[in-house]
Amino acid sequence: MKLIDNLKQRRTYYNLNKELPVDNAEVKKLIEEITELVPDAFNMKSARVLVVMDEKQDELWDRIFDTFEGKVPREKIDGFKAAAGTVLYFYDAEVVEVLQKKFPTYADNFPVWANQANGMLQINIWAGLRELGIGANLQHYNPVIDSLVQEMFEVPKSWKLIAQMPFGGIVTEPDPKEKENIADRVRFV
């Protein structure tokens, strides 16, 4: 599949289920390969990924609902819970801090670069999942759920949660995207 075609198919899918069109091993392989291939400034390899599936998937979203004490509608959380799994995206602050000390001239840039690399990782995993016939969406319930995720999955304190990506079988296609005037955002001089 060509890159542009892949990105066109990568959409925000909210209506997901637990029925993946491929086995879990294929999803694991895709996420591992993409994580290894996505570039990172100074080759810092700051991105961390935790994939939550099966009963842990349900428990995660139930506990997220509880953490928000009903301020997020149950139906919304249940939509994410209905997915087969969730990719949790982090960056490792310890890796960033080591490089900040090693290259003090660039110290302020390393957290920015870590987030940029993580964004590249997110879009590539999202597009890769879609290529496998899997839908996904991207959520940002952090920092409210940070301590919950750290405690629930025993992740190091240095891992900073950036985003959550529920993924699963596609129940319904999203509405077509409205065409924009791209000249408002892209200029050639």
Q: Which domain holds residue 80?
A: 3-167
Tokens of 17: 């289920």
Based on the number of CB atoms within 10 Å of its own CB, is 102 exposed (0-12), middle (13-18) or buried (19 or more)? exposed
Quote the number of domains for the chain.
Answer: 1
**Contact by Cβ (8 Å): 127, 36:** no
Q: Answer yes or no: is 21 within a domain.
A: yes
Longest dimension (CA), the chain: 53
| SS3 category, 119 | helix
**Contact by Cβ (8 Å): 27, 51:** yes
Q: Answer yes or no: is 185 within a domain.
A: no
Q: Answer whether the bond into residue 143 is a cis peptide, omega within 30°.
A: yes
Q: Which distant-in-sequence residues (6+ apart) come within 8 Å of 160 by Cβ?
A: 90, 91, 92, 93, 146
pLDDT band of 2, cuts 50, 70, 90: confident
Question: What one-character DSSP code corresponds to residue 179?
Answer: P
pLDDT at 1: 57
Whichever domain contains 31, its CATH number is 3.40.109.10
Q: Answer yes or no: is 130 within a domain.
A: yes
Q: Answer yes or no: is 72 within a domain.
A: yes
| pLDDT tens-digit series, residues 100-148 | 999 999 999 999 999 999 999 999 999 999 999 999 999 999 999 999 9
| pLDDT tens-digit series, residues 80-101 | 999 999 999 999 999 999 999 9
